[in-house]
């Protein structure tokens, strides 16, 4: 027998009709009515506003306000918003200790939590709000996996700090620790700078992973135009939030889904845009994982190829002196894409219903020094170089745009450390010598576990004056704040018995960024002999989520996905 007509509240085209239609759904309807919904609202699309507002995260502490604006936009366009929260870890709080082991694994938790909630409540569309290193890629992964009509709202950069007339990013305080150790600044000055370096909410004021992935999200067509560079405290960010809520209702009505927008060509466009602005090496982890969720492909080698073919147009801290605020005022992502027209296809649809080309036509470019034309690019190579050789048979990555010319080729004796903490202690303790290559191992996705960022170590090198004389090689990864000759993502990692596991103090390591090579001066036979003598790998963590993560995570060269 068919349902009585007066119990059909919603068009069956909406997934949420399963929640509100029919005799058997009296319980859910009672809950909805008890929360204040009226009959007319039961017929409207239900939009999940998935927020990562967090009181212990400067990049997310303002997102409750952004969430309210998104909900206002949803209601204005005729939808019913439901705001829920998921986790968001701050890399800044996790640096330099065991907490960093949890950060990359949190990407999978966030993506899974969004999938579980959207499926469990049968939502019709999503607005995903987040702004930092693992959160933005996790949300892109979730959007592509679930494939409901979705708009992302990125939280926006923090305003730069200003000290003695100069603009700073928070990461530079870590480098100041070296100057304090060397006696170049006083403790009083150092503590005064601490009070200045995180002046507003937002993602750290640099081209770190947070802003890199926000730029990539906009270039993928999954955010409203201007979202990535609209600063957290700006009126522009408020408008983007409300427009995003309005846009998702239109996407639901027109049944436009993330995989309709993110094609292989759009994926490559987004990677090129990220590379052209000096994007973080962490994109080499996130883009393969994002492609996997979209059922597309983006390998480490493909990113290296795209970088070699993409001009470097914007030199943002830490690679240069310009800030994210400069980039925004110069025209932001739209201006970058307009400069890359011809190399990328702008005739692709975005979540606001217009193509990139239509969107960038409205962009006003203000500063050709911040965003250079292709004819005057800083270089004809994007920010990342993929290195291979007998020390990294499956690849390693370096942010070549942040390396001094004198260190693009370097050869030196290895100094080996079994974890980041030991290396940091040696750097600050005066035990590191000019010309050496520091090797930090046991920090990969499996062996770490969680592939910690080595920002504390790299900042120590810069602060102690080694950025143009000492290289660093690790199976861990780096923050986008890292600068200098720092090579990460060495694959296979130590736990998988890659050659990095058998390097000994004094072995000569040869780095050639321009040639794309990373070698240890050992014969194949000697490498095989040493590997055969290694004891079996013993996991550091044997219980809980990190143990499950370590058992199932793929190598860094494949995006550290859990498949």
Token readout for 217 is: 């999200």
Token readout for 336 is: 């970058």
Concerning whether 321 is annotated as a catalytic residue, the answer is no
CB 408 within 8 A of CB 423: no
Distance of CA 333 to CAs 126, 129, 229, 269, 279, Å?
A: 23, 19, 7, 12, 12
Q: Is 394 annotated as a binding residue?
A: no
Token readout for 481 is: 């704040």
Q: Is 134 annotated as a binding residue?
A: yes
H-assigned helices in 77-194: 91-94, 103-120, 135-146, 172-181, 187-194
Q: Is 11 annotated as a binding residue?
A: no
Contacts 24+ apart (CB under 8 A), 236-239: 237/66, 237/155, 237/156, 238/65, 238/66, 238/69
Catalytic residue among 16, 214, 276, 479: 479
Q: How many CB atoms lie within 10 A of CB 263?
A: 17
Q: What are phi and psi of 410, to 5 degrees?
A: -150, 140
Q: Is 91 annotated as a binding residue?
A: yes
In this structure, is the dihedral angle defined by the CA atoms of residues 24, 26, 29 and 30, taken in order, positive or negative?
negative
Residue 129 region, left (φ>0) first, then alpha (ψ -120 to 50), else beta? beta
| Beta strands at 150-154 and 517-520: parallel, antiparallel or unpaired | unpaired
Can you count the helices (H) and strands (E) in the chain? 22, 14
User: How would you write 260-286 as a 3-class SS string?
Assistant: HHCCHHHHHHHHHHHHHCCCCCCHHHH
Residues across the chain: 563
SS3 content of the chain, % helix, strand, coil (to 5): 40, 15, 40
| Beta strands at 384-389 and 392-399: parallel, antiparallel or unpaired | antiparallel
Active site residues: 479
Annotated binding site: 91, 133-134, 453
As annotated, the binding site for Mg(2+) includes 91, 133-134, 453
């Amino acid at each position: 027998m068919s349902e009585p007509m007066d119990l059909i509240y919603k068009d069956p085209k909406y997934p949420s009709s399963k929640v509100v239609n029919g005799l058997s759904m009296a319980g859910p309807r009672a809950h909805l009515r008890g929360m204040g919904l009226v009959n007319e609202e039961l017929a409207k699309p239900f939009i999940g506003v998935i927020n990562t507002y967090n009181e212990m995260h400067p990049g997310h502490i303002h997102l409750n306000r952004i969430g309210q604006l998104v909900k206002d936009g949803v209601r204005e366009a005729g939808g019913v918003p439901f705001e829920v929260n998921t986790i968001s870890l701050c890399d800044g709080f996790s640096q330099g200790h065991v907490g960093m082991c949890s950060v990359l694994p949190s990407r999978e938790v966030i993506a899974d939590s969004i999938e579980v909630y959207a499926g469990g409540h049968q939502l019709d569309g999503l607005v995903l709000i987040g702004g930092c290193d693992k959160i933005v890629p996790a949300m892109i992964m979730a959007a592509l996996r679930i494939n409901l009509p979705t708009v992302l709202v990125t939280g926006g950069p923090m305003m730069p700090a200003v000290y003695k007339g100069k603009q700073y990013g928070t990461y530079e305080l870590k480098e100041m620790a070296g100057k304090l150790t060397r006696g170049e600044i006083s403790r009083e000055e150092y503590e005064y700078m601490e009070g200045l370096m995180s002046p507003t909410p937002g993602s750290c004021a640099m081209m770190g992973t947070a802003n890199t992935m926000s730029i990539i999200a906009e270039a993928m067509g999954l955010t409203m135009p201007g979202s990535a560079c609209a600063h957290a405290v700006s009126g522009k960010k408020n408008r983007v939030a409300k427009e995003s809520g309005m846009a998702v209702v239109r996407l639901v009505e027109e049944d436009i889904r993330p995989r309709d927008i993110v094609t292989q060509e759009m994926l490559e466009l987004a990677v090129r845009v990220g590379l052209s602005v000096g994007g973080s090496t962490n994109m080499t982890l996130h883009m393969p994982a994002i492609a996997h969720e979209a059922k597309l492909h983006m390998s480490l080698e493909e990113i290296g190829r795209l970088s070699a073919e993409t001009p470097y147009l914007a030199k943002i801290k830490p690679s240069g002196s310009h800030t994210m605020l400069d980039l925004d005022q110069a025209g932001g992502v739209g201006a970058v894409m307009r400069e890359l027209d011809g190399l990328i296809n702008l005739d692709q649809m975005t979540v606001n219903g217009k193509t990139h080309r239509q969107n960038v036509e409205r962009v006003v470019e203000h500063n050709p020094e911040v965003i250079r034309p292709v004819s005057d690019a800083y270089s004809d190579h994007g920010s990342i170089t993929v290195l291979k050789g007998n020390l990294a048979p499956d690849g390693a990555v370096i942010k070549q745009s942040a390396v001094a010319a004198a260190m693009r080729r370097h050869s030196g004796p290895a100094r080996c450390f079994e974890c980041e903490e030991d290396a940091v202690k040696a750097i600050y303790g005066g035990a590191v010598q000019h010309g050496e290559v520091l090797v930090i191992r046991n920090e990969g996705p499996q062996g770490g576990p969680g592939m910690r960022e080595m920002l504390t170590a790299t900042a120590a090198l810069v602060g102690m004056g080694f950025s143009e004389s000492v290289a660093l090689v690790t199976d861990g990864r780096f923050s986008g704040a890292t600068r200098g000759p720092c090579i990460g993502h060495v694959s296979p990692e130590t736990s998988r018995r890659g050659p990095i596991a058998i390097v000994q103090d004094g072995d000569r390591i040869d780095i050639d960024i321009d040639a794309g090579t990373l070698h240890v001066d050992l014969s194949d036979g000697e490498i095989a002999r040493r590997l055969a003598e290694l004891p079996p790998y013993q996991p550091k963590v044997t219980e809980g989520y990190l143990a499950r993560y370590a058992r199932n995570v793929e190598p860094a060269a494949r995006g550290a996905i859990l498949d």
